[in-house]
Amino acid sequence: MKRSMTSSTVEIRNVPLKDDKFNKAQLSDIVLNTCKAIKVDIQKNEINDVFVLKSKAEHKTIITEFKSKNTKQEIIKKFKTYNKNNPNNKLNTTSIGLDNYSKPIYVSEALTPKGRRLFFLALDIAKIANFKYCWTINGRIYIRKTDETQYIEVKGEAQLNNLKTQK
């Protein structure tokens, strides 16, 4: 149920927001500028909600819920395409007009707290056990050893511990 609540939600991480007082209009403008940079044409009325995760760090995470799951998927797809097509100038603060210095910005689907922890652990296991791929789609976490092997949906920490011992 929690996963379905984040089905149309995107995280924009590493955004330099020095002040702790943000209004939704300012945050919406940052989201719209990010979308414009990666060539996704959306309007302000397509944003259902936008807020910043509490953090002591200067670089924050903006959580944006869109009215449509398709909008979320298009943004993530275009972000990946943008970074692939611009390997020497990936999406950064200057490309969305935030800072004078270039700091990378990351866009991904929002995960539940449990999903975020599981993805963190899956990334760690993927490194240890030499998995080539680790990714999320629609709140589900997948790993794959090689291009030829079948992907594995990660459903819990016990499963990850078993994969860790298999190496």
Residue 3's pLDDT band (cuts 50, 70, 90): low
Helix, strand or coil, per DSSP, at residue 4: helix
**Are 107 and 34 a contacting pair, CB within 8 Å?**
yes
Asked whether the predicted pLDDT for residue 66 surpasses 80, the reply is yes
- Enumerate domains of the chain plus CATH numbers: 2-109 (3.30.70.330), 113-166 (no CATH)
- pLDDT tens readout for residues 104-163: 999 999 888 888 899 999 999 899 888 999 999 888 899 999 999 999 999 998 888 888
Q: How far are the Cα atoms of 5, 50, 75, 109, 128 from residue 61, in angstroms, in the given order?
A: 18, 11, 16, 12, 28
Q: Is the pLDDT of residue 20 over 90?
A: no
pLDDT of residue 100: 72
Mean pLDDT of the chain: 87
Q: Is 141 helix (H, G, I), strand (E, B) or coil?
A: strand
pLDDT band at 39 (very low <50, low <70, confident <90, very high): very high
pLDDT band per the 50, 70, 90 thresholds, residue 1: low
pLDDT at residue 160 in the model: 86
* The pLDDT of residue 23: 84
